[in-house]
Amino acid sequence: MAACALPPLGVLLALLCVGAVRAADTVTADRPLSVSQTLVSSGRKFALGFFQPEGGAAGSWYVGIWYHNIAVQTPVWVANRGAPVSDAASSRLAIAPDGNLALFHGSGSIAWSTTKANTSGTANATDTVAVLLDSGNLVLSPASNASAVLWQSFDHVGDTWLPGGKLRRDKRTGEIQGMVSWRAHGDPAPGMYSLQLDPSGAPQYVLLANGAQEYWLTGNWTGKFFTGAPEVAASSGGSGYSFEFVDNDEESYFTYNFAVNSTVYRFVMDVSGQVKGWFWVEATQAWNLVYAEPKARCAVPRGCGAFGVCTEGAATACDCARGFRPRSPANWGFDDFIDGCVRNAQLQCAKNSTDSVSSSTASGSNKEAQDKFLRMDGTRFPDDGRTVGVASTGGCQTACLADCTCSAYAYNGSCFLWYGDLQNLEAGVGDDQAGAGSLYLRLAASELPGARSHKWRNVKIAATALGIACFVVAASILLVRTTRKRRTARLNGLTAGDGCVSYKYSDLQYLTKNFADKIGAGAFGSVFKGQLSDSTVVAVKKLEGLRQGEKQFRAEVSTLGTIQHVNLIRMLGFCSDGAADRKLLVYEYMPNGSLDHHLFRKTFYVLSWQVRYQVGLGVAKGLAYLHERCRDCIIHCDVKPENILLDAAFAPKVADFGLAKLVGRDFSRVITTMRGTIGYLAPEWISGEAITTKADVFSYGMTLFEIMSGRRNFEQGERPSVVSSAEDTTGAEEQATTTFFPLLVARRLAEEGDVMELLDPELEGDADPEEMRRVCKVACWCIQHDVDARPTMEEVVQMLEGLTEVEMPPVPQYLEVLAGRHAQESTYHSAQQLDETAYGSV
């Protein structure tokens, strides 16, 4: 029962502890399952029992399967998805008289039941058992013969597709098994989005909205990968998973699995309409997102709900249109926007009954408060607009006003009207694009500026407001005077060497002028500029998605606060005011921003070779310190140019270390947008092997390549391939594998070629050839597939300082597979050739 001493996770963990007593994986006729019990699979990987999903409706209980050993509640299958029980205390999961497994209300009525195959007449209630397997599959079979499956949960996939499961199409019945999203965060009822095999019979998956509208396709299976999603391939070139398509007379299905037994992976049809792949990472105790499609969030139909506005590439995909607010605000924090937005103020035309009375007494008020329109430029028009034969903007507006259900109009030569809920609004679209332009959104007059009525009542309100404002100003001046002294005292006490200061939330509000100057947004939250009273500029990071308790947070942060190294960003203080949205970290401010900015041409000047070399060396020193010198070894987990900041003298400082543990959400979000699982991620993240400091070494190596080349390793097409100028490339397949920079470098080294040709062309050859060669070799060693072949960061430092000789690195073969597959994304047509080149070599 030691597990009960873990951080409180409410009912769930309590149930797990009770379950541990029962320690059985089977429901039999004489052993039903009640709310206080849990089935645990024989290898203790999965558990089955009653649960209440996080964020779910109070009093709604479900029977489901989750990971037994994972502290973050993660249901992978739910029995009674659409039929929660409220009388959990008296409900039972039991074998029904007809041999099915059923969930009984206290009254004896059935809330949910399996629909077992009707083949064997031998199985009756006393003879039937339900067993939870270590794969997460719940299997109903005769007690006398476990291999005769009567029903199994793997044939009734919910929103999660586990390794070993099948997404199949039964060719005899035409039945299709797909993943169906939850209706909303906390609500397992079947939702709007599904992923399934193409009903037309083509060997591909389709994503469907409302079971009908296709919005993404994987492309046909070539036998090795999907043409439209090449990162999902038959095997991952050594990192341990296999993906298989089976197609025979009876059925066709895909299935996948991992060579390493301990890998915990799941594909989920997410509420957001994206299909997502998640790995559990023990080191960080968090789910790590490694796959998400479609990458374009705004491509998901109705993804932001009614009156939600989607912006591609924004930190949060959805926002409410002006004049609207989220219908389910709590869910927005979980990236669930499906419930959309509601009006802040009712439209005038909708206030019929009350107004018909008031307008007779106060005539004219109706007209003045008439609904207004908000112009939204650069908006993609929803496609359900209706044209009316009106030949002017004014006429179009009048036509919309005439119908209370009309919620927007647009005029681009013809007049379009939209009725009811507006769906699929997308902002930030160029006006020159077809089907985009200025949309006029109907709002209550009070939502728009300049809508003030001249009624005396309003003047009175204004006067009162002014009075209050004056009082507030006067009071604040007094208050500021008195608190400034105290604050100044506290804030001035802040100098290097003081360790980590604990701030009040109001202090930080004050320092940042109420978070007015946002200087960045990363995986962990937004960053604001602030100024201490002695004019020291600081960066204040507002953490998002924190999952730790107050005490743990303070403990972690104090540890981070003690870390001091010239190449690590220094934490000056923190704020932990109880509330989850009041967790902030205060850092020294880096005037030259992050490295990606300078490398990838967002500035006017080019970083010289000397600076680049020093940046590479400095980052290596910083990471070596994190890995070896700190009291507890810290794995950064997210080394990339965005997390390397430059001070006024362009000396590098590594940022965001230690936060993965603190926040633990999908800190690899950025990585997924960079070509699926490849980017800066070490292969062991994918294979589920233990994550060590060598994972950072890998990411560091990838970053070194970018420092040399001045472009993203996976960036293509923007600039002519380096090789095509040096060699005469023929054919797409050659191009495909040769444009992956790390591979280029490795091959060039192997054939003793001139690596100077690979240098960022912007430097015009102005670099030390010996240093360049050394950096190339070090980077190639860092990205070796074999963890043990990679050097430690300490060794990297010695190599870069020229203290040790660098041997010739082998060409990482697995890269050829990844590079080839990646290139496939941009050069679809040469699938056949790629098979021969990229895959032929492994």
**Residues 353, 360, 361, 363: which binds ligand NAG (CB under 6 A)?**
353
Buried b / exposed e across 357-374, counting CB within 10 Å, b at 16+? eeeeeeeeebeebebbbe
Q: Which of 638, 656, 666, 760 is catalytic?
A: 638
Task: Report, in Å, the least distance between residue 247 CB and ligand NAG.
Answer: 9
* Site for ligand NAG, residues 180 to 239, rule: CB under 6 A: 202-203, 220
Q: What radius of gyration, in Å, describes the C-alpha atoms of the chain?
A: 30
| Contact range with ligand NAG by CB under 6 A, out of 13-21, 155-163, 409-417, 710-718 | 409-417
Question: 434 vs 496, which CB is nearer to ligand NAG?
Answer: 434
Going 34 to 270 to 407 to 371, the CA torsion angle's sign is positive
Residue 434 binds ligand NAG, judged by CB under 6 A: yes
Distance between CA atoms of residues 316 and 166, nearest Å: 33
Segment near ligand NAG (CB under 6 A); pick from 86-94, 126-134, 184-192, 636-644: 126-134
Residue 589 structure tokens? 């401010």
Single-letter amino acid code for the residue at 152? Q
542: nearest Cα among 569, 517, 564: 517
What is the C-alpha separation between 2 and 19, in angstroms, rounded?
Answer: 13
- 514 interacts with ligand NAG by CB under 6 A: no
Q: What is the rounded distance in angstroms from the CA atom of residue 818 to the CA atom of residue 840? A: 13
Based on the shown chain and the rule CB under 6 A, indicate whether residue 389 belongs to the binding site for ligand NAG: no
| Angle, in degrees to the nearest 10, between helices 609-624 and 693-709 | 170
Contact 612/708 with Cβ under 8 angstroms?
A: yes
Q: CA-to-CA distance for 389 and 261, rounded, in angstroms?
A: 65
Are the CB atoms for 232 and 212 separated by under 8 Å?
A: no
149, 155, 156, 158: CA torsion to nearest 10: 130
Considering only 408-416, 498-506, 667-675, 731-739, which stretch makes contact with ligand NAG by CB under 6 A? Answer: 408-416
Q: Least distance in Å: CB of 78 to ligand NAG? A: 23
Which one among 435, 520, 593, 761 touches ligand NAG, defined by CB under 6 A?
A: 435
350 binds ligand NAG (CB under 6 A): yes
Q: How far is the CB of 197 from ligand NAG (least distance, A)?
A: 11
Looking at 46-54, 319-327, 411-419, 774-782, which segment touches ligand NAG (CB under 6 A)? 411-419
CB nearer to ligand NAG: give 221 or 781.
Answer: 221
Taking CB under 6 A as the rule, which mask of x and - marks residues 245-274 in contact with ligand NAG? ----------------x-------------
Return the closest-CA partner of residue 696 out of 775, 626, 630, 642.
626
Q: Cβ of residue 601: shortest distance to ligand NAG, in angstroms?
A: 34
Tell which residue, 800, 840, 825, has the closest CA to residue 677: 825
Of the ranges 141-149, 151-159, 582-590, 713-721, which one interacts with ligand NAG (CB under 6 A)?
141-149
In degrees rounded to 5, what are phi and psi of residue 559? -60, -45
| Rounded Cα distance, 194 and 181, in Å | 6
Q: Are 425 and 439 in contact, with CB atoms under 8 Å apart? A: yes
- Closest Cα to residue 354, out of 365, 344, 338? 365
Q: Which stretch binds ligand NAG (CB under 6 A): 59-67, 124-132, 268-276, 581-589?
A: 124-132
Structure tokens at 515: 């978070």
Q: Which is nearer to ligand NAG, 174 or 413 (CB)?
A: 413
Q: Provide the 10 A C-beta neighbour count for residue 434.
A: 8
Q: Report the nearest approach of ligand NAG to the CB of residue 43 (Å).
A: 4
Given 58, 107, 108, 147, the residue binding ligand NAG (CB under 6 A) = 147
How far is 816 from 822, CA to CA, in rounded Å?
10
Shortest distance, position 553 Cβ to ligand NAG, whole Å: 35
Closer residue to ligand NAG, CB minimum distance, 147 or 535: 147
126 lies in the binding site for ligand NAG (CB under 6 A): yes
Give 725's contacts (C-beta < 8 A, 6+ positions apart): none
Residue 127 near ligand NAG by CB under 6 A: yes
Q: How far apart are CA 467 and CA 447, in angstroms?
A: 24
**Interface segment toward ligand NAG; rule CB under 6 A; list 274-282, 410-418, 442-450, 635-643:** 410-418
The nearer residue to ligand NAG, 124 or 213, going by C-beta atoms, is 124
Among residues 26, 145, 358, 603, the one that binds ligand NAG under rule CB under 6 A: 145
3-state secondary structure of 62: strand
Q: Is residue 608 within the footprint of ligand NAG (CB under 6 A)? A: no
329 scored as a contact of ligand NAG (CB under 6 A): no
Scanning residues 637 to 696, which ones bind ligand NAG (CB under 6 A)?
A: none
Q: Which helix (H) or strand (E) holds 773?
A: helix 769-782
**Phi-psi sector, 607: left (phi>0), alpha (psi -120 to 50), beta:** beta
Among 174, 413, 430, 449, binds ligand NAG (CB under 6 A): 413
Question: Closer to ligand NAG at the Cβ: 220 or 827?
Answer: 220
Stretch 529-558: interaction string toward ligand NAG, x if CB under 6 A: ------------------------------
**Closest separation between CB of residue 618 and ligand NAG, Å?**
42
Q: Which of 547, 634, 531, 525 is CA-nearest to residue 589?
A: 531
Minimum separation from the CB atom of position 389 to ligand NAG (A): 14
Which range, of 122-130, 274-282, 561-569, 755-763, touches ligand NAG by CB under 6 A? Answer: 122-130
Residue 564 binds ligand NAG, judged by CB under 6 A: no
CB atoms within 10 A of CB 34: 15
Q: How many of the other CB atoms lie within 10 Å of CB of 795? A: 19
The secondary structure element, H or E, covering residue 595 is helix 595-599
264 vs 818 by CB, closer to ligand NAG: 264
Long-range pairs for 146-151 at CB < 8 Å and ≥24 separation? 148/120, 148/123, 149/117, 150/99, 150/114, 150/116, 150/117, 150/120, 150/123, 151/100, 151/101, 151/114, 151/115, 151/116, 151/117
- The site that binds ligand NAG (CB under 6 A) totals a number of residues, namely 24
Q: How far is the CB of 134 from ligand NAG (least distance, A)?
A: 5
Which listed range, 120-128, 620-628, 676-684, 729-737, lies at the site for ligand NAG (CB under 6 A)?
Answer: 120-128
Q: Which of 263, 366, 412, 533 binds ligand NAG (CB under 6 A)?
A: 412
666 is catalytic: no
Pick from 485, 492, 489, 483: nearest CA to 532: 492
- In terms of CB distance, is 233 or 439 closer to ligand NAG? 439
The secondary structure of 824-841, three-state, reads HHHCHHHHHHHHHHHHCC
- Residue 116 Cβ, how far from ligand NAG at the closest point, in Å? 8
Q: In 3D, which of 377, 483, 500 has the Cα closest to residue 437?
A: 377
Grouping H, G, I as helix, E, B as strand and the rest as coil, residue 132 is strand
> Quick one: 413 or 493, whose CB is closer to ligand NAG?
413
Q: Residue 51 in contact with residue 80, Cβ under 8 Å?
A: no
Q: Note whether 124 binds ligand NAG by CB under 6 A.
A: yes
Angle, helices 609-624/769-782, rounded to nearest 10 degrees: 40
Q: Return the residue of 151, 381, 667, 698 that touches ligand NAG, per CB under 6 A.
A: 381
Say whether residue 148 binds ligand NAG (CB under 6 A): yes
Q: Is 322 helix (H, G, I), strand (E, B) or coil?
A: coil
Provide the mask over 444-483, with x wherever binding to ligand NAG is found by CB under 6 A and - wherever it is not: ----------------------------------------
Q: Which CB sits closer to ligand NAG, 353 or 361?
A: 353
Q: Is 190 left (phi over 0), alpha (psi -120 to 50) or beta?
A: beta
Residues in 34-73 at the binding interface with ligand NAG, rule: CB under 6 A? 43
Using CB under 6 A, list all residues that contact ligand NAG: 43, 118, 122, 124, 126-127, 134, 145, 147-148, 202-203, 220, 261, 350-353, 381, 412-413, 416, 434-435
Active-site residue set: 638
